[in-house]
Amino acid sequence: MTIKNTNDEQTSSTSTEVLAFKDVYKDYPDGDTTVHALAPTTCTIHAGEFVAVVGPSGSGKSTLLTIMGGLQQPTGGSVSLDGKEYSRMSRKELAQLRFSTVGFVLQSSNLVPFLTLEEQLKLHSSYAHEKYDARRAASLMEDLDIQKLHGKYPDELSGGEKQRAAICVALYGRPAVILADEPTASLDTSRAMGVADIFAQATRREHTAVVMVTHDERLLTECDRVLTIQDGKLQESTPEQASQQV
């Protein structure tokens, strides 16, 4: 991943570039004032990179992640996913690109409440016009230790199980990029490390890029890059510097 201040030279793009921000910023109106949630940012994320984003509450992490995933528009700048610029796409095209390219693990949970875990995976296959891949589903469920939960509805799962089920659904379609917002917040140390390991494997074996917001410094050692964000300003960091912010 490369990250630059807006005034620096444009980062050169490569064939493995998955996500590109050019001068992207986000302001929210707040009464008579404006919250500068994300300062102008130019960065690229490449296939197979495991990137952690660390920062205090209110620093702009969710804003960054939701703009990356096209869930909200920036105030200015351009965002491209897989070489396609969001602002040039219709809502339908953007939704299709998001479905085929991004796996979300959101705090609000990306599970459909009235489908069992297995049905969520089948729905994904059906929407993608692909055959249900029972072997992949079983292998992911086993890796995440949720194989016994395949017939359960989200309401029947604990917080930690729900989080692992959401990760399973996000990984199932082999997305180009996983955007995960504190995906291990409800997990104990061993399960949290297990999830980091599964993400790391996806980056190596399937060249998935993973961008993971986390407060868990134990996971930073698994990542290729650590970014810190403070008052909306994103910068590359070392795991040691990031640990001080956690």
Interacting residues with ligand ADP (CB under 6 A):
28, 30, 35, 37, 55, 57-63
**Shortest distance, position 214 Cβ to ligand ADP, whole Å:** 12
Query: Which of 58/159 has CB closer to ligand ADP?
Result: 58
Q: Identify whether the C-beta of residue 24 lies closer than 8 Å to the C-beta of residue 86.
A: no
- Take residue 229 and report the two structure tokens written for it: 């964000």
Query: Which of 75/100 has CB closer to ligand ADP?
Result: 75
80: left (phi over 0), alpha (psi -120 to 50) or beta: beta
**Shortest distance, position 65 Cβ to ligand ADP, whole Å:** 8
Q: What is the per-residue burial (b if ≥16 Cβ within 10 Å, else e) of 98-130?
A: beebbbbbbeebbbeeeebbbebbbebbeeeee
**Shortest distance, position 153 Cβ to ligand ADP, whole Å:** 29
- Take residue 101 and report the two structure tokens written for it: 């390219």
Query: Which of 218/233 has CB closer to ligand ADP?
Result: 233
Query: Which of 64/165 has CB closer to ligand ADP?
Result: 64
Q: Identify whether the C-beta of residue 228 lies closer than 8 Å to the C-beta of residue 4.
A: no
What are the Cα distances from residue 244, in Å, to 130, 222, 238?
A: 45, 17, 10
Query: Which of 55/183 has CB closer to ligand ADP?
Result: 55
